[in-house]
Chains A and B, each alone.
Chain A
Amino acid sequence: MGATGRFHSRRRMLSGAAALAALGALPRAMAAPVGGSGELGFGEIPDGTLAEQSLFALPGKVPLIKKTYRPPNFETPIEYFRTPITPNKAFFVRYHLAGIPQVKAKDWFLSVAGDAAAGLAPLSLDQLKREFKAHEVTAVCQCSGNRRGLFDPHVPGVEWGVGAMGNAVWRGARLKDLLARAGVRKEAVEIVFDGADHAPLDKTPDFVKSLPVDVAMSDDVLVAYEMNGQPLPHWNGFPVRLVVPGWTGTYWVKQLASVKAMSSPEKNFWMSTAYRLPRGRFKTPTFASQLYAPNEPITTMVVNSLITSLKAGQQVARGKPIEVKGVAWDSGAGIERVEVSTDLGASWQRATLGKDLGRYSFREFSAAPLAREPGGMVVMARATSRSGETQVDQLVHNPAGYHHNVIQRVYIEVA
């Protein structure tokens, strides 16, 4: 190990020790708040968020962690990540604009047009199901801002904990098949998507997103009408949403109403200003047609994992194995390995990976390190993708609070 390696080990140990000290200082008799991230071994979400949020069931949903009522922003509690597929009723809800129509299947039509396509007569749901071959993909849908609340220092926005994500089996037509039928021409640079949602005020920019044409034409991008074998829940985009495996949730437009093949980049607020990162700060793919500003759009997810079996302060028996279980995911290279450490990152042991449900899916992991010595212990998990990307020790800060994939550090007590 060279000097750099030693430095990294020490830094890991210091940050682990700092986490341990911070957790030890928590008052024990505090009333249990809902959806805190401190108890999971992360920095805590803002105190105002923690005080305000509570469990609330939207129609058709189980109680989820309410961030905001209108537009609805609801987070999935951690217990639903103890299985690799997230139930529809527990799947997180994220909207930007409060006007969310109740769309009936018979009233829904999809327009496929644009200045770089011949266009199609509007498609009904029946036509979409009947005239286009159905495909399935198991994929994680994760909000770009998942874990924003864990940022230190905090940044404004929806202060998500760890549950603005879910994994489902999506079924629908391939977007490329629709685009082929619509006669997309070579001059198309972006495919632009609009949903049926709208803002209460006319002046608010409508939520419109675009994808590079090559991404939109890839085999895995679906115009999906089923989620885990059921129609999509209203709150997750009924009747049809875009599924863009590997890319962050902002591109997964719900209640999809319009697809346009365009010869120039989409420059509305949601593309030009929101969902942007300082250029080059992350090693994720660039979005070439959107590089007209000093920043760049967020694109694919970064590798990440979540320990779901432990809570901070939990007591475990000395001499017994500690059950360390969770899920790991990335943008589609697939998970190569998950390692677990109980010595502040000085050494790592490989966890056993669960069944491979596809490269875009959650991958379960489990390990059972021994609780040897009495006293405090920090359990850490670190996922690495098949492309060699691994989770970070220190937060890569950015103004909008995206891509938090800092290694989790759960403090437990061996007695």
Chain B
Amino acid sequence: MRLLVAIVALAAAGGASSQESKVVLKEAPGRDKAMQCLACHSIDYIPMNSRFLDKAGWTASINKMINAFGAPIPKEDVETIANYLSQNYGKPAQK
């Protein structure tokens, strides 16, 4: 079902759909869970919002997607996705 939603959305995007698949998330633990974001939007939203959010910032973004936009992300995945995003697309540690 989730895949179907993603396909329908891709079709609606028209000419940009083939380009969209060229945006690839970094390989790291949790990436598969983060790919759920594709149901509603292209994955470039993630690198675009980097690197300035810490884990709390990314958690707030994920919760906004779930609570405000109705993203069907299981609660138990939130921590995994937040870790993945903050470690790979998060604010660099203070030097």
**Chain A residues in the interface with B (C-beta under 8 A):** 46-49, 51-53, 56, 58-59, 66-72, 98-102, 153-154, 156-159, 199-205, 269, 273
Contact of A67 (CB < 8 Å), options: B10, B13, B17, B44: B44
**B8 lies within 8 A of chain A by Cβ:** yes
- A201 proximity list for chain B (CB < 8 A): 5, 39-40, 69-72
CA distance A159 to B45 in the complex (A): 9
Which of B5, B14, B20, B44 is close to A200, meaning CB atoms less than 8 Å apart?
Answer: B5
Chain B positions 1-22 with a Cβ under 8 Å from a chain A Cβ:
5-6, 8-10, 12-17, 19-20
Kindly provide the distance from the CB of A401 to the nearest chain B CB, expressed in whole angstroms. Answer: 11
Residues of B within 8 A of A154 (CB): 52
A156 and B40 alpha carbons, distance in the complex (Å): 17
Residues in B with CB closer than 8 Å to A47 are 50-51
A382 CB to closest chain B CB, in angstroms?
28
CB A254 to nearest CB in B, in angstroms, measures: 14
Residue from A99, A202, A204 in contact with B12 in the complex, judged by beta carbons closer than 8 Å: A99
Nearest A residue to B8, CB-CB? A200
Residue of A whose beta carbon sits closest to that of B40: A200
Q: Compute the total of residue contacts between A and B using a CB distance below 8 Å.
A: 111
B57 within 8 A of A: yes
Additional A-B contact list (12), CB under 8 Å, known A99-B9, A201-B70: A46-B51, A48-B51, A49-B47, A59-B15, A69-B17, A70-B16, A71-B13, A98-B9, A156-B49, A158-B48, A201-B72, A205-B68
B89 close to chain A: CB less than 8 A: yes
B49 & A159 in contact (Cβ 8 Å cutoff): yes
What would be 29 A-B contacts, judged by CB atoms less than 8 Å apart? A46-B49, A46-B52, A47-B50, A48-B89, A49-B47, A49-B49, A58-B14, A58-B15, A58-B16, A66-B16, A66-B44, A69-B20, A69-B23, A70-B9, A70-B13, A70-B41, A70-B42, A98-B40, A99-B9, A100-B14, A101-B12, A102-B14, A153-B52, A199-B40, A200-B5, A200-B6, A201-B39, A203-B69, A204-B69
Closest to B65 in A: A204
B85 shortest CB reach to chain A, Å: 11
Using Cβ atoms and an 8 Å threshold, which residues of chain A touch B15? Answer: 58-59
Which A-B residue pairs are the 3 nearest by beta carbons?
A203-B70, A48-B50, A70-B42
Q: Is the CB of B40 within 8 A of A46?
A: no
A71 touches B41 (CB 8 A): yes
| Residue positions of B touching A, CB distance < 8 A | 5-6, 8-10, 12-17, 19-20, 23, 39-42, 44-45, 47-53, 57, 61, 68-72, 89
Contact status of A72 and B68, CB under 8 A, knowing A48-B51, A99-B9? no
Between A46, A48, A59, A101, the greatest number of chain B beta carbons within 10 A of the residue's beta carbon is seen for A48
Find the residue from A46, A158, A202 having the highest chain B CB count within 10 A: A46
Q: In the bound complex, do residue A68 and residue B69 qualify as a contact, i.e. CB atoms below 8 Å apart?
A: no
Asked if residues A273 and B68 are in contact (CB atoms below 8 Å), the reply is yes
Are A56 and B19 neighbours in the complex by a CB distance under 8 Å?
yes
In the complex the two chains form, what is the Cα distance from A100 to B40 in whole Å?
Answer: 13
Instruction: Decide yes or no: A48 and B16 within 8 Å by CB, A69-B23, A154-B52 being known contacts.
Output: no
CB atoms of A52 and B9 under 8 A apart: no
Query: How many whole Å from B22's CB to the nearest CB in chain A?
Result: 9
> When chains A and B are docked, how far (Å) is the Cα of A38 from the Cα of B12?
34
> When A99-B12, A200-B8 are in contact, do A70 and B68 touch as well, CB less than 8 Å?
no
B49 → chain A, closest Cβ, in Å? 5
Nearest Cβ in chain A — how far from B78, in angstroms? 16
Known A-B contacts A98-B9, A200-B40; the reply to A51 vs B47 at CB < 8 A is yes
Query: A158 contacts which chain B residues (CB < 8 A)?
Result: 48
User: Contact check: which of B10, B13, B16, B48 meets A49 at CB < 8 Å?
Assistant: B48
Say whether B48 contacts A46, CB under 8 Å: yes
A159 to B50, CA, bound (A): 10
Q: Which residues of B contact A51 (CB under 8 A)?
A: 47
Complex CA distance for A390 and B44, rounded to whole angstroms = 36
A96 to chain B, nearest CB (A): 10
Whether B42 contacts A69 by the Cβ 8 Å rule is yes
What CA separation (Å) do A47 and B9 show in the bound complex?
Answer: 28
In the bound assembly, the distance between CA atoms of A59 and B14 in angstroms comes to: 8
Q: Bound complex: CA of A375 vs CA of B57, how far in Å?
A: 42
| Cβ contacts under 8 Å, B44 to chain A | 52, 66-69
For B10, the chain A residues whose CB sits under 8 A away are: 70
Give every chain B residue within 8 A of A53 (Cβ-Cβ).
48
Chain A: which residue is nearest B66 at the CB level? Answer: A203
Cα distance, A161 to B50, chains bound together (Å): 15
Contacting residues, chain A, for B53 (C-beta < 8 A): 156
